[in-house]
Amino acid sequence: MPARPQVLLSAFADEAALHKTAIEQLAALSACGLRWYSPRFVDVSGSGQVKHVVDLNKSEYKDLKKLHEEYGMSVTSIGSRVGKVKLQDVDDGSHNKYVPLREYLRTEVASTIRAAVELETKLIRGFSFYHPRGSDPAEHIPEAAEHLGRIADACAKEGLVYGLEIEPNLIGETGPLLANLARQLRHPNVVLIFDGGNVAAQNKNAVQCYEEYVAMRPHIGWLHIKDYTIDPQLTWTGAVDEERLRNFVPADVGDAGHELVLRDLKEHLPKIDRKMRKLGAPGVFLEVEPHLKGGGQFGGFSGPDGMGVAIRALTNVLDYVGIDYGLRNFEDIRNDRGF
């Protein structure tokens, strides 16, 4: 009997930690059976000083890597903020900041690349820039592609892959827009990241979410897993107030159509897996970012209990559609203890 396609499970660990300490994050995820995670906001020493992972110093990276060894964890990707700034220096009434590209490459992009190298991951999660509010995002794809090409070039010099996540309010807010952006980029070190919750949060149902995934599929490198229940009282205005999003749910009960998406992904996993391994990744990640207790522009929170609920919900769907995954088991524990 042929082996079933397999994915690697991962999570944004800061969502599971009440105080964002590294020990909380790694303990929660290892208890859930994971061996992979993406760092974002973290208090490495437990001193109460929470930093974004790209802002850690050399000593903090060293201490974090020691904790990785102790907990048997590895880094999936850097959960970066790259691309969550304005594309143009236009006062559009938003609070988003603008940074000239040359300065941005020297600061935020360089710090993110340093974090990836220090933490020994090949993947960086990023975004596609904010277009001027009220304008058509499609009009800005050529300019965004030029900016992102410069970022991807910087990543490629270190053997890194830049993953563009679909997200509301950005130029790549829909599957077709993000796919168009990828086609214009034509960069071997750029892949796309599908996130069903980020699509459903735009008042789109399961079929619409699936269609956006299909548009992105030729360029997909990995997936984020969160879901969202559409609010029937919400009047869609064309923009998402990210700070007020409260309708995130586990992947087996929302409107993002994860059964449809993952059933299709199963057929294409071998090809995507080969692509990602050629780029230096260990396989295709499904990364839980559940936001079960709230989400915003730069992160979310689920708690250790919510993280467990979200991971079990994902494995329920994977079991149903026939995709394999690996979680820690008793044999792993025996091996760790040297039996």
- CA quadruple 133, 106, 221, 319: dihedral sign: negative
Residue ranges with strand state E in the chain: 6-11, 36-37, 41-42, 51-52, 74-75, 77-79, 123-126, 161-165, 190-195, 220-225, 227-228, 248-249, 285-288, 324-325
- The string of pLDDT tens digits covering residues 1-26 is 567 889 999 999 999 999 999 999 99
Q: Please tell me the predicted confidence (pLDDT) of residue 318.
A: 98
Q: Please tell me the predicted confidence (pLDDT) of residue 339.
A: 39
What's the predicted TM-score (pTM) here?
0.95
Helix (H) or strand (E) holding 150: helix 141-157
Residue 245 has pLDDT above 70, yes or no: no
Q: In whole angstroms, what is the distance from residue 306 CA to residue 315 CA?
A: 14
- The string of pLDDT tens digits covering residues 97-135 is 999 999 999 999 999 999 999 999 999 999 999 999 999
- The string of pLDDT tens digits covering residues 32-85 is 999 999 999 999 999 999 999 999 999 999 999 999 999 999 999 999 999 999
Selected residue with higher pLDDT from 34 and 244: 34
Q: State percent of the chain over pLDDT 70.
A: 93
Q: Please tell me the predicted confidence (pLDDT) of residue 293.
A: 84
Domain ranges of the chain: 6-328
Confidence class of residue 297 from pLDDT cuts 50, 70 and 90? low
Q: Please tell me the predicted confidence (pLDDT) of residue 238.
A: 63
Mean pLDDT of the chain: 93
Confidence class of residue 248 from pLDDT cuts 50, 70 and 90? very high
Q: How many CB atoms lie within 10 A of CB 48?
A: 9
- Pair 20, 53: CB distance under 8 Å: no
Could you give the C-alpha distances from 230 to 122, 247, 256, in angstroms and in order? 35, 7, 9
CATH topology of domain 6-328: TIM Barrel (3.20.20)
Confidence class of residue 301 from pLDDT cuts 50, 70 and 90? confident
Q: Please tell me the predicted confidence (pLDDT) of residue 192.
A: 98
CA angle 260, 263, 265 (to 5 degrees): 105
